[in-house]
Structure 1
């Protein structure tokens, strides 16, 4: 075979870094990606500070993890870090620290300490202005007298850890009047949204559940309370039997675990405040569905992944779907770790257990609203005999649905329901099959 000429065509640093800024991060998701690194570093405490100071506003994310040496810090700021990720790690592409940060700011500074016995810190800075001016992949060692570095060293005085600082927040503050009241309110709003986001995405770490080391995260000095979508502390939350599936794709085999929950209706929550809190950022209807976890970190929530549609009558149904990073390629996780695609093989497997969950959630919903939702006699004005017959009919409808699922005849049963609703809507309503 003849030897062919080859050419080293390095990408333009200025153009490519500019493109990577538009990878799709929102502010809370960008902060969460930095927190991923802190969790991977074994941190037990993470402080997020969103500080308004006009053009000098900054975001600081500090942790007490194991820190990085000077060489590790330099490598961490490489686009496409030259390292592999172990099973269970939250990292994926070696891009998160850079792409998440630069999606919000133009200057990224990282200060780290890796030795408990020696109070020595290392600092590196990635400045987009410098990259664009030189059109090279360069980072610099900031001055020890830089106020950012000096402040970070105070945080690191007691032990190991890493401090990430975002400055020149051009994607956050308005280009005109960055010192105005609107800019201040925007940062305050982003801090509040970030608190809600981190409370949800890292709720298992905040709870210390599933054998995880308990993690404390604070935003602007306020310790976060975990938001568990499944209301496990509520006595009337019910859980169906857990299931586990083996997925194989492109030579990779891994396990996926499914947990299914029916949350209590409003009147069965311990308080109205708890019912409202568990409605979540998207509110009850859009919070129903699958909550997909990668290595215990929530990466996608709400909706049924194409298995079925969102329905008012199934808003109490939520399910946890867990996989580890050995199945990343099967789930096609994106760089921001905010979206996954259910493998077609898994979607087919999930259809029956998801429909079973929704039938039970539908029944729980209708038990609380049946009196006002149906033209039949209500619990108030009906005789005990009529109330018992109405409840028996609804129970029979639920039993028929469950039997169809267990017999693997769900598609046929759906056609039967459609026919019954069309030809005898009163009977379908009585059996609880009208939605």
Structure 2
């Protein structure tokens, strides 16, 4: 059979880079994708500076990781890097640093130092204006006199690490009057949103997960606080038994872990501020559902992945779905690492568990609502002590239900509930076990 003719048709650099700018990043998610690289580099501290200076406004993401050599830096700036990713690394397609950064700016500069003994840094830039002018995939040396590059090199004088710099923030600031008060307020707002977003997606790194040093992230000098979507610090939070599943992907078998939680109602939180903070960016109703963790990094939050719909009565139900990077293909993770698709086989496996969780959350919600609306018996009076006793009894009833579920004795508990309703209806009502 004769050999087929083949043709090398390289894509237009100007057109393709322009298209890749619209891959779907917001400012905070773009910063998070850059922080992924810092985590992969073994950083324990990441500093993010968002500085307003009119048209010269810029963003710095500096870390104390192991840094890159000049050749490694060039490769890192390649669209679709040729390096391979090992299991557990947060990178996936070799596009994140470039697509995330250029979704917000026109000039991306990276300064890095990899030698602990010698203070040698290397710096390279991707400039969209040059790429569009030459229509070539070019990387250039930035000006050594650029104040941003000078600052980055000063930071790296203390040790290894990498500084990512965003300049010409055309997607962030208005073209007209970038020096105005509106532009300054916009950057302040973006800094606050970015801190909240990083606290959510890197919450497990910020609290120091096992086998890994604790990560410290600051935004404009303020330490980012971890946001635990499951309120595990609250004594009234109920966790069901952990479950593990196996699914096939690319001819191999990977493991998925499911952890289920029923969060406390507002009056069971230690303080109302904690309840408000746990409402999350989508608020309580839309924040219920599955929290998907890829290699301990949160990539999707809220919603039930097509298993069931959002319901006011199940807003206290949240579950962690955890997998490692060996299952990326099965979960169809996108380039921005913000969306996954639940594999059909996994959806079938976890559906009964999700429904059990939602049934308990529904029960907890209704019991709390009924306890608030039911008047205190006349013989107990209307004292605060009597109301507290009634609430405590309702909470005890819910705790008993949870214990039965966790001990895998639900059928036996259902029989006990029925007997209580028949033989001691007053006790059943006090415990919140009477029929709804």
Once the two structures are superposed, the pairs formed by residues 82-121 of structure 1 within 5 Å of their partners are: 82-121=82-121
Rate the CA distance shift 1:405–1:65 in 2: closer, same or farther, 3 A.
Answer: same
Q: Distance in 2 between matches of 1:82 and 1:405?
A: 53
Q: Alpha-carbon deviation of 1:238?
A: 1.2
Give 1:59 shift. Answer: 0.6
After superposition, give the CA deviation of every residue in 1:189-213 in whole Å (9 maximum; x if it has no partner).
Answer: 1111000000000000000023331
Determine if the alignment matches structure 1 residue 431 to structure 2 residue 428: no
C-alpha displacement of 1:163: 0.1
Residue in structure 2 matched with residue 378 of structure 1 by the alignment = 375
Tell me the secondary structure at the aligned position of residue 190 of structure 1.
helix
Unaligned runs of 5+ in 2: 382-389, 412-432
The residue that corresponds to 2:62 in the other structure is 62
Asked whether the 8 Å contact 1:352–1:405 carries over to 2, the reply is no
Name the residue aligned to 1:206: 206
Structure 1 residues 256 and 26 mapped into 2: Cα distance closer, same or farther (>3 Å)? same
Q: How far is the alpha carbon of 1:283 from its aligned partner?
A: 1.2
Give the distance between the partners of 2:167 and 2:144, measured in 1 at CA. 17
Identify the residue that residue 319 of structure 2 maps to in structure 1.
Answer: 319
Q: TM-score, normalised by structure 2?
A: 0.88
Q: What does residue range 238-277 of structure 1 map to in structure 2 within 5 Å?
A: 238-277=238-277
CA distance in 2, matches of 1:175, 1:16: 23
Report the counterpart of residue 420 of structure 1 in structure 2.
Answer: none
Match of 2:387 in 1: none
Query: 1:160-171 counterparts in 2 under 5 A?
Result: 160-171=160-171
Deviation at 1:318, TM superposition (A): 0.7
Q: SS of the counterpart of 1:117?
A: coil
Secondary structure in structure 1 of the residue aligned to 2:54: coil
Counterpart Cα distance in 2 of 1:286 and 1:382: 41
- The correspondence of residues 155-234 of structure 1 with structure 2, limited to 5 A, is 155-234=155-234
Unaligned residue ranges in structure 1 (runs of 5+): 408-428
Instruction: Give a deviation string over 1:104-147, Cα, whole Å, max 9, x none.
Output: 00000000000010000000000000000000000001122221
Structure 2 residue matching 1:355: 3-state secondary structure: helix
Deviation at 1:249, TM superposition (A): 3.0
- 1:145 aligns with 145
Distance 1:55 1:321 in 2: 43
Superposition RMSD in Å: 2.5
In the TM superposition, residue 333 of structure 1 has moved relative to its aligned partner by 0.3
Flag the 1:121–1:2 CA change in 2: closer, same or farther, 3 A.
same
Q: 1:52 & 1:141 partners in 2: Cα distance? A: 25
* Compared CA separation, residues 279 and 145, structure 1 to 2 (3 A): same
Is 2:347 aligned against 1:343?
no
> Partner of 2:359 in structure 1?
359
The residue that corresponds to 1:426 in the other structure is none
SS in 1 for 2:195: helix
1:337-391 deviation per Cα after TM superposition (whole angstroms, max 9, x unaligned):
0000000111111111111111111122222211455xxx63445989xx99x97
Match of 1:40 in 2: 40
| TM-score relative to the length of structure 1 | 0.88
> CA offsets per residue over residues 230-255 of structure 1, 9 Å max, x none?
11111111111000000113313100
Distance 1:431 1:25, change over 3 A: same
Question: How far apart, in 1, do the equivalents of 2:379 and 2:3 lie?
Answer: 91
Whole-Å separation in 1 of the counterparts to 2:331 and 2:369: 38
C-alpha contact (below 8 Å) 1:43/1:65 kept by paired residues: yes
The alignment of Structure 1 onto Structure 2 pairs a total of residues equal to: 402
Distance of 2:267 and 2:410 partners within structure 1: 31
